[in-house]
Structure 1
Amino acid sequence: MKSRAEDFKCIAKSIKPSVHTKTKNAILAHGDSLELLRKIPDNSISLILTDPPYHATKKKNIYGDTLFAQDQHYLEWMNEYAIEWRRVLKQNGSLFCYCDSSMSARLEVLFSVEFNILSHVVWTKPNEPGFDGWKGKMKKESLRQWYGHSERIIFAEPAIEGNLHRSPFGEFLREVRKKSGLSGHQLTELTGAYGKVNHGGAVSNWEAGRNTPSRDQYKKICEVILGTGKVDHMPPYEDIIRVFKMDGTKEFTDVWNFPSVRPYKGKHPAEKPLDMLKHAIEACSHEGDIVLDCFAGSGSTAVAALSLGRRSVSIEIEEPWVEGISERLKAIEKLDEEDLANLEKLPPAAPQDILF
């Protein structure tokens, strides 16, 4: 696997003047995330999980939520992020971007220039018993529309032109196959990757971007391609195939039912539940991968990433929240592996206002 540790060092160096706190596996930078994002090296991030201002909600206690007078100005701003996210993500990386339901369609169209939109996730924000939040206070008959009790998450991968589904792996496989001098049929024959319908088999589907090979299939592809002597190097599976680990025991549909974070002293107004963040990170990254959050807020994305053995890069513009994240990172650094993997099970004596 390409050294994530080396990528991590390069990122820290690239934004060093703005780094507020650095631990073994976490970087916290204070400043405008778009400016700092432009300094991060190309293809150095495995997963972007971020929660930008929604704009449509116009909450004065969320930085940037009231910054734009018109929707188009907000979309132009978000487009600048999309361009930079595409640049810093690895070819097999993933993006999760939270947004308001009223802006999600326009953001999907905007993001589709740089990304393949894989899922439009609906987070239903169910309430725990005895806590209705605004849902219980609204005068329903005065709404004139259905009450908005969900948020959206756009899930996407980097796109590249050249094949039917704009798949980076599909384009890579086509290029190395041609360089090796093999036809699609020959590679199919040598790897045994026959399809159930046509003789072109899995290779043609992989190159079109319809799907990707398993670890064993990719191993055979590497053996065949390298065996021609015309290709010097094939990247490890972890560096070329987008991660997606899921099974039926988890929230595997595009409707997520993670309860909202209950109010507590010092809570960030847009704080997301730790379990939901861990769900996304665990499904779409390997241990040691680098997870980026450009709008860190309370720092929960970093907490989730670190608890799963990932590295985190957090950027936050508001100083009070930077200080809060810093305290969380310092507290986490003192935990042993067992406590780190079970943050939600820490005893009451743990600093709750810091960790949660």
Structure 2
Amino acid sequence: MNLYLQTPEITVWQGHCLEVMQTLPDASVNLIVTDPPYHTTKKANIAGDKDFKTDEDYWEWLDIISQQWQRLLAPNGSLYCFASPKMAARVEVLLGKRFNILSSITWTKPNEPGYDGWKQKTKKESLRSWYLHSERIIFAEAALPDNPNQSPFGTLLRKTRLAAGMSTIELTGAMGEYGKVNHGGTVSNWETGRNIPTAEQYGKLKAVLKQVAPEVPGLPDYQQIIRPFFATADIPYTDIWDFPTVKHYPGKHPAEKPLEMMLHMIKVSSYPDDVVLDCFAGSGVVGQAAKMLGRRAVLIEISANLCDKIVKNMS
């Protein structure tokens, strides 16, 4: 384990991701964007891709890695984990033990003619299944250990409301947030994770609970507990993403992801100055995107040569 670079914006570690992550503090990461070995591609030029003799070996390893992700992710945190289409269903089930799964995103990779790689070369008549021309990205949020289907905010709100002796209807009414049909629906929806309060609504929520039950510990600040998600109509907001792959260039990482897609994930799912972790850093593109957006990045890469390239690109 070797610390390659440490600045206020970027920290680069060279070493095994598990060893490095074990040294990081609990709840110290706001967003995880990472691309583990796929295991199915068996590429010798991708670190870790041929390390597992059986599928079960791979699942056991990924489960151990995900334990660290769970420990490191803050209550307001999100996770984007890349997966091959063949393995994505199993990856989603595995991560569902520790995180609240929100989406399985399909990245379609709509390359320009002449840049379709093996798709262009494949003899279509010899196929016996649909050609794999997409990747999956499992999107999830932090969850409590005893309830992976519930966000920390929803659980904390219910606990605080009950300690204050209020029903969902009473709390909704006191805030002036009555719905047209279900008068308790606003707070109920927040507790179940169907939606989240705005910063203004959250301020009202804290004020009412403090006034009604000053002896009950108050809710934390908005950004400490509310998961950021800044989707708009003018950016990709569905679970189908059309980002072209990175064209070949000298020194390109074989699994390099497009910068535009990394910028999209980080901008939508983090606050300024948040900590973004990539424990399979590869080309370092997650760090580049984080730096461009005013976030702090922690990058872990096992290859010293790639760490050299990452540091060079960051300077």
Q: Which position in structure 2 is the counterpart of 1:125?
A: 109
Q: Which position in structure 2 is the counterpart of 1:10?
A: none
Distance across 2 between alignment mates of 1:209 and 1:304: 29
Q: Which position in structure 2 is the counterpart of 1:12?
A: none
Secondary structure at the residue paired with 1:260?
A: coil
Distance across 2 between alignment mates of 1:270 and 1:68: 18
Distance across 2 between alignment mates of 1:314 and 1:225: 40
Q: Which position in structure 2 is the counterpart of 1:146?
A: 130
Secondary structure at the residue paired with 1:297?
A: coil
The Cα of 1:232 is off from its aligned counterpart by: 4.5
Secondary structure at the residue paired with 1:101?
A: coil
Does residue 313 of structure 1 match 2:298? yes
1:1-356 equivalences in 2 (<5 Å) = 18-160=2-144, 165-227=149-211, 228-330=213-315
Between the aligned residues of both structures, percent identity stands at 51
Residue type at the aligned position of 1:93: G
Distance across 2 between alignment mates of 1:83 and 1:161: 10
1:218–1:211 CA distance, 2 compared to 1 (3 A): same
Return the TM-score normalized by structure 1. 0.85
More deviation in 188-197 or 276-285? 188-197
Return the TM-score normalized by structure 2. 0.96
- Decide whether the 8 Å contact of 1:179 with 1:230 is kept in 2: no
The Cα of 1:163 is off from its aligned counterpart by: 7.3
Secondary structure at the residue paired with 2:97?
A: coil
Distance across 2 between alignment mates of 1:82 and 1:204: 30
Distance across 2 between alignment mates of 1:277 and 1:112: 23
Residue type at the aligned position of 1:291: V
- Decide whether the 8 Å contact of 2:34 with 2:280 is kept in 1: yes
- Decide whether the 8 Å contact of 1:163 with 1:208 is kept in 2: no
- Decide whether the 8 Å contact of 1:97 with 1:155 is kept in 2: yes
Secondary structure at the residue paired with 1:166?
A: coil
Distance across 2 between alignment mates of 1:303 and 1:143: 38
Where does the alignment leave 5 or more consecutive residues of structure 2 unmatched?
none
Residue type at the aligned position of 1:61: N
Residue type at the aligned position of 1:277: M
Distance across 1 between alignment mates of 2:117 and 2:149: 42
Question: RMSD over aligned Cα, in angstroms?
Answer: 1.5
The Cα of 1:216 is off from its aligned counterpart by: 1.2
Distance across 1 between alignment mates of 2:145 and 2:58: 27
1:163–1:66 CA distance, 2 compared to 1 (3 A): closer
Residue type at the aligned position of 1:247: T
Residue type at the aligned position of 1:256: W
Residue type at the aligned position of 2:14: H
The Cα of 1:187 is off from its aligned counterpart by: 1.2
The Cα of 1:161 is off from its aligned counterpart by: 6.4
The Cα of 1:71 is off from its aligned counterpart by: 0.9
Residue type at the aligned position of 1:40: L
User: What is the CA deviation profile of residues 169-206 of structure 1, one whole-angstrom value per residue up to 9, with x for unaligned ones?
Assistant: 11110122223333323211211122332222211221
1:163–1:224 CA distance, 2 compared to 1 (3 A): farther
User: What is the CA deviation profile of residues 65-95 of structure 1, one whole-angstrom value per residue up to 9, with x for unaligned ones?
Assistant: 0111111110111111111111100111000
Residue type at the aligned position of 1:199: H
1:50–1:161 CA distance, 2 compared to 1 (3 A): closer
- Decide whether the 8 Å contact of 2:17 with 2:301 is kept in 1: yes
Give the 4+ runs in structure 1 shifted more than 3 A: 161-165
Distance across 1 between alignment mates of 2:184 and 2:263: 39
1:104–1:191 CA distance, 2 compared to 1 (3 A): same
Distance across 1 between alignment mates of 2:64 and 2:294: 30
Distance across 1 between alignment mates of 2:244 and 2:130: 20
Distance across 1 between alignment mates of 2:110 and 2:89: 23
Residue type at the aligned position of 1:97: C
Matched length: 314
User: What is the CA deviation profile of residues 88-123 of structure 1, one whole-angstrom value per residue up to 9, with x for unaligned ones?
Assistant: 001110000001000000011111110111111111
